[in-house]
């Protein structure tokens, strides 16, 4: 492979803002694996956000790019998987599997798509210093008439349309809106774009914590919600505490500590088979590797309010943000019914 922009290359990133800024190009924020595709004749390389290769995990995407991209180019985009008309991140993560036979089977039964939204090189020309507006025009010309499973990401300069996308597209599993300055060059690994994500709050039960990597202080709180059968389901964690607050939480939560955790709703977390019937912390994952997933059990008696962006099935998609304690709420009152459900929106309408 011999291209003017060679792998590995890290993608340009976005920083979070509260509102859609004016005077920019707006795109939907896809909830998948960021991937930069390099094609040089018969060779295709898919690089992840960290520069690691993704090609072997998405053979159907690599094959599609060979027939749908120009012979020599570098394209920034997102790999996504669709299920029942919306993006499905859980099914996407299943593709990161060591067995080639498993990957191929999933590629056939639930194939992935590649959403293209930036052009980094074309032919022998690197476009990293070219303004976004010109890169977008070149991308639209290059991918005019492209067919599935490769798609040109929709883009607009109309902030009102972007606001409608922000509200509607969440129903198809998308993650918000990205705003890009029109004169922006492409700068790998720099946060020069802007992302606007949904923000909601929920009252959740604190049922445990994990230690921080720096020592015997709280790293994250383990959160739960009660389902319709009265079982406390693990829905995620909240983190991002200051060093001082981490130490304070150890003392504050000590009276609730259960050691041993006999009688705790998640006491069976270390039993792999128990994860099949309940959502418990410490579920085995290809992402966790050898990471220590142990945690300290707490009596599920305290409630806190957290901020979150959206749900992936029955859990928080990303780490939640601690807002405040809720001494006025009973733990048993913290169920899934409080969560806001986005209006359904068919992914095919986004990709049309």
Residues annotated as part of the active site: 29
**DSSP 8-state class, residue 48:** -
* Whether 143 contacts 351, CB under 8 Å: no
Length of the chain: 352
Cα–Cα distances (Å) from 17 to 177, 190, 240, in that order, read: 10, 16, 18
Please report which helix (H) or strand (E) contains residue 240, including its range: none
CA 196 vs. chain centroid, Å, equals: 14
Strands (E), 197-340: 200-212, 215-226, 232-239, 296-308, 311-312, 315-316, 320-325
Phi and psi at 250, nearest 5°, equal: -55, -50
Give the chain's radius of gyration (CA, Å): 22
Distance of alpha carbon 121 from alpha carbon 74, whole angstroms: 5
Q: At what angle do helices 100-109 and 59-68 cross, to 10 degrees?
A: 60
Distance of alpha carbon 308 from alpha carbon 137, whole angstroms: 35
Distance of alpha carbon 146 from alpha carbon 228, whole angstroms: 45
* Whether 150 contacts 143, CB under 8 Å: yes
Structure tokens at 296: 């300290």
Distance of alpha carbon 188 from alpha carbon 194, whole angstroms: 15
Q: Quick check: bond before 3 cis, omega within 30?
A: no
Strand partners, 200: 308
């Amino acid at each position: 492979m011999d291209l003017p922009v060679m792998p590995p290359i890290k993608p340009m990133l976005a920083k979070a803002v509260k509102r859609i800024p004016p005077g920019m190009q707006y795109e939907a924020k896809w909830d998948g694996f960021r991937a930069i595709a390099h094609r040089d004749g018969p060779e295709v390389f898919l690089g992840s956000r960290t520069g690691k290769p993704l090609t072997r995990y998405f053979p159907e995407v690599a094959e599609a790019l060979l027939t749908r991209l120009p012979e020599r180019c570098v394209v920034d985009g997102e790999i996504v998987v669709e299920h029942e008309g919306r993006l499905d991140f859980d099914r996407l993560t299943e593709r990161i599997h060591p067995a080639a036979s498993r990957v191929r089977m999933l590629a056939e039964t639930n194939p992935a798509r590649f959403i293209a939204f930036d052009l980094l090189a074309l032919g022998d020309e690197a476009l990293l210093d070219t303004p976004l507006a010109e890169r977008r025009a070149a991308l639209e010309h290059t991918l005019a008439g492209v067919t599935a499973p490769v798609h040109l990401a929709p883009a607009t300069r109309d902030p009102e349309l972007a606001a409608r996308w922000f509200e509607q597209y969440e129903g198809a599993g998308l993650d918000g809106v990205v705003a890009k300055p029109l004169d922006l060059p492409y700068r790998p690994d720099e946060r020069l774009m802007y992302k606007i994500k949904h923000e909601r709050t929920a009252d959740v039960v604190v049922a445990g914590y994990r230690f921080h990597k720096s020592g015997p202080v709280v790293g994250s709180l383990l959160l739960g919600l009660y389902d319709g059968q009265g079982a406390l389901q693990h829905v995620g964690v909240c983190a991002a505490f200051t060093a001082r607050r981490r130490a304070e939480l150890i003392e504050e939560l000590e009276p609730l500590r259960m050691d041993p955790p006999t009688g705790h709703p998640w006491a069976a977390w270390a039993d792999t088979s128990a994860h099949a019937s309940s959502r418990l912390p410490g579920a085995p994952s290809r992402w966790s590797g050898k990471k220590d997933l142990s945690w300290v059990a707490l009596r599920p008696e305290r409630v806190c309010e957290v901020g979150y962006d959206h749900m992936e099935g029955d859990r928080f998609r990303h780490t939640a943000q601690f807002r405040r304690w809720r001494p006025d709420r009973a733990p048993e009152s913290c169920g899934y019914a409080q969560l806001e459900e986005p209006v359904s929106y068919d992914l095919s309408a986004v990709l049309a």
